[in-house]
Structures are given as structure tokens and as C-alpha cells.
Chain A
Amino acid sequence: MKNVALKGKGQEYYLEISSYCDFNAALEDMKVLFDDLAKSTDKLTLIVDTQQRLLGEKQITELKQLIKSYHMLDLKQIVSAVDTKTSLNNILKKNQIQIESHIVRSGQILDYNGNLLLLGDVHAGAQVRATGSIFVVGVVEGIIHAGFPDNDDAVIAGNLGAARQIRISDLFQIVADLAMDNLEMDSFFYVNDLHTIAIDKIDNLATIKPQKEIIIS
């Protein structure tokens, strides 16, 4: 039974499938293990760890069916130490800063996934949206929407004195209504704990909204 191993880590039970064995052999071993367990346990919540192996759709259904056939077992999730390049790229994209250099003109709406560094002006009537934070080098006269549609962690920084509106997450702020002396080149906008848009100096960005490291889940 060296192909699979049941281990307790903290509060969880992990079923580790060896990376080097044949998957069908592992399933056979699992059956033996589960038959044993059925005699002694009446309830067990499992996390299956496939280690260096990435299961395909078919293998996942096979595994799920096997676990389902034992009533005392409850599959919490399937984890693995590896991931596909596509999903990694998507995660990286979300966390990387995209650099775009062009003028955004009236009537144009630009959408970005992740954080954006925009090198260029945003003209009146234009809109720039990103799911993450937006940093602008250039004059903003249009609308900047960071954290679109509902990411409160996003921030906006740049020359925003002439902007029409600042939007973060589901909030918006009409810039003309702000006290202008607050709005300097080195200020940034964020969503505070009261869920309203606030301004602070860029020096405080690190303490107010620490930049998160990449989390692969």
C-alpha cells in the first residue's frame, strides 16, 4: 500500500497519492485502504493531495466516484503541488502590472485585468477600468475606475486633479467636490475601513494598502 498514504496534518486528513505510481494502481490501493477504514470509522473528511501529479478531468471523476461510494468519506478538496501553465499565466496576469502607453480619447472605454500602469493622458469623456490598481503617468481628465467591479484593495495614483471621477470598487468620488489642497501629485485614492473613498499621501501607501504577494490557490 505504498502508492497511497493517509496522514493527519493539523485538523485535516490528507490522502497522499504518490507522484510516481500508476494512477489505476493508486485507485486499487485506495479501495483497500477505504475498505479497511469503513470497518473502524463512521465519518472522515478527506483532502486528496496528488503531489507532483496533475489529474485530468476523467481521473478526477473516477476519484470522486470512488470516494462517493464510501458513505463515511467526505471529499473536501483535491490539492496538488503543481498547476497548468495556463492557470499560472492567468494568476500572474492578475498580479503583474501591465504597462500601456497611449492616449485614451473621448468615448473610449479601456478594460484591463489586473494592475495597470498607464503612460499617457486620459481625455475628458474617456474611461479606464482595471480589476486591480491603476497608476497613471499623464494628465487624467476622464474617469478612472480601479478595482472594477468590486475589489476594495485597489488604489489609484497619479495626476488626478483634473479628473472627472475616481471610482474604486463599487464607490465613486466626484473630484470637483474634493478639497483641492488635498489633491497633490503625490496623493493616492483607496477604499478605507468604512468603505468610502479616501485620499492619502503616496508615502503611506505601504502601510495603508500593503502590496500583496502572489497567492496561488
Chain B
Amino acid sequence: MGTSIVVTSGKGGVGKTTTAANLSLALVQAGKKICVIDLDVGLRNLDAILGLSDRVIYDIVDVISGRIDVQRALVQHPQYNGLCMLAASQSASQDNLNIERISQIVLDLKNSFDFVIIDCPAGIERGFQAAVAVADSAIVVTTPEIAAVSDADRVVGILEAANLTYGIHLVINRVRLQMIQSGKSMDIQNIVNRLSVPLIGVIIDDDEVIASSNDGHPVVGIQDSNPAAIGYTNLAHRILGKDIPLNEIDNNRLPTKKSGFWQRLFKSK
């Protein structure tokens, strides 16, 4: 029996879909069988980020309405054997999301996959409620901005009421090192204290994340050394229970303008 993880945030544009895609891929690379479900009905884009747009034949609304069996609606990733996706419908609205049917579908999928990752739509409307209803655990994605943190707080409140089996964890996405170092950004520790949710991942903002998503290849799949890709891989390993210290920021500290004595000494050589 697998575990379902909902990736949610409240606010839009903080990187839910990117996180869902990269996390799925990182888990597949760790040898797990993953099914990722896009619940962002009406505004789907998980398929594009995973590079599966061309292959979508049936979507979740087809499955909910019983037109097709869930196993046949899954899109198999051509490159990664363990990765399947259930696409959202682009034409339907969130009202089509029948929570009972979705619970049944997710239960079915949990039997054949290690993890079912649910990409939740922004907001706290029907799509979000459906995602929460079927989740065993939740990853709340936020960015170091007051608007995102405030919305995350709202979402955490709702998730707490849902009493998820494996609880709620926080991922801080799009952390800009320059801003942290110049003290202009919200402090990571402040965000964690404020939300009082355990932190499970810090993803450093990197242009490559967007560039690779545009190509339909999540950054985890193509650049192992990219700081964001490392962040996602670490996140996946932490979910699998490995004890990896949360040192993404310290490891990627930018060189200060005034380099130290030893640095200058070695550079001059």
C-alpha cells in the first residue's frame, strides 16, 4: 500500500507543480514507483512540465465520470519506467471533482504505486478540498514572501483540521541567496517558526528550473549538480526517511565580495 502526498500552497505561482514534478522524478530516481495526479482541473500544466503533453489521451474527469478505467487513463513516462501521470482535464471545471470518486481512484492507485503525488490547484476551493480529502500527508510549498507565507498559514490551518496520517511538512521554494545574504528576504527560520510546521526541504531559486521546465524536462532529470535539483533530490530522500541535514543554503553560499585572506592567497597563485 502506497502513500498519497498532496503538494499544496494556497497562493498560486509559488511552484507547486514544479515541486510535484521534480519530487516525483527524484523519487523515481530513488527507485520508487510514482503516480502523479494533476488536480488543477481547467488550468493543467503538470503534463507540460513533465513533457507528457503529447501523450495525454484521457484525463481525470474521464475517470471520475466512469468513461475509462483509471489504469488505462494513466500516461506512462517514456524515459522513466516508474513514473505515471493522471492528467487534469483542461476543459472541465473544478465542480466536476467528485470527492468520493477521487478517493476511490487514489485508493486504487495506492495499491499499485509506492507514492501517489497530488498536484493541488491554487486556492482553497473544491480542487483543494478534494486533494486534502485523499491525502495521507501534505507538503506545503511557500516562498520567502509575506503573501505566500500568509496563505500557507491558512492552508496549514485547514490541513491540521484534516488530521493527516503522516502530517504536514514545509518546503520553502525559490529561495534567493543574494536576498538572504543581503538580509532583504524573510529569514528561513522565521518562516518555520511562524508556521510551526516541520521543514523538509529548501529549494534554491535557479533559472535552470524554469528553463528546463519549459523544455518539458524537470531539472532533477537533467542536471544533477544544479542547486535546485539537489534540493529536490534531498527532499525526496528525506521523504524516504534518510537523515539529510538541511544545509542547502550554507552549501550554496555565494562568495562575498571581499574574499578572505586564504582565498586571495590561493587565487593569486
Interface residues of A (CB under 8 A from B): 103, 105-108, 121, 123-126
- Nearest to B158 among chain A residues (CB) is A107
- Where chain A touches its partner, the secondary structure class is loop
Interface residues of B (CB under 8 A from A): 150-151, 153-154, 156-158, 160, 194, 196
Set A103, A108, A124, A126: member contacting B196, Cβ < 8 A: A103
**In the complex, what distance in Å separates the CA atom of A108 from the CA atom of B154?**
8
- Nearest to A102 among chain B residues (CB) is B160
- Report whether B160 and A123 are in contact in the complex, using a CB–CB cutoff of 8 Å: no
**In the complex, what distance in Å separates the CA atom of A124 from the CA atom of B146?**
11
- Where chain B touches its partner, the secondary structure class is helix
* 12 additional contacts (CB under 8 A) given A106-B157, A121-B196: A105-B153, A105-B157, A106-B151, A106-B154, A107-B157, A108-B157, A123-B153, A123-B194, A124-B150, A125-B150, A125-B154, A126-B157
Give every chain A residue within 8 A of B196 (Cβ-Cβ).
103, 121
Give every chain A residue within 8 A of B158 (Cβ-Cβ).
107
* Best-surrounded residue of A103, A105, A123, A125 (most CB of chain B within 10 A): A105
Give every chain B residue within 8 A of A103 (Cβ-Cβ).
196
Give every chain B residue within 8 A of A107 (Cβ-Cβ).
154, 157-158
- Nearest to A103 among chain B residues (CB) is B196
| B92 smallest CB distance to A (angstroms) | 27
Give every chain A residue within 8 A of B154 (Cβ-Cβ).
105-107, 125
- For this complex, 24 residue pairs linking A to B, each with C-beta atoms less than 8 Å apart, are A103-B196, A105-B153, A105-B154, A105-B156, A105-B157, A105-B160, A106-B150, A106-B151, A106-B153, A106-B154, A106-B157, A107-B154, A107-B157, A107-B158, A108-B157, A121-B196, A123-B153, A123-B194, A124-B150, A124-B153, A125-B150, A125-B153, A125-B154, A126-B157
Give every chain B residue within 8 A of A126 (Cβ-Cβ).
157
Give every chain B residue within 8 A of A123 (Cβ-Cβ).
153, 194
Give every chain B residue within 8 A of A125 (Cβ-Cβ).
150, 153-154
| A101 smallest CB distance to B (angstroms) | 13
- Nearest to A141 among chain B residues (CB) is B194
* Best-surrounded residue of B150, B156, B158 (most CB of chain A within 10 A): B150
**In the complex, what distance in Å separates the CA atom of A105 from the CA atom of B196?**
10
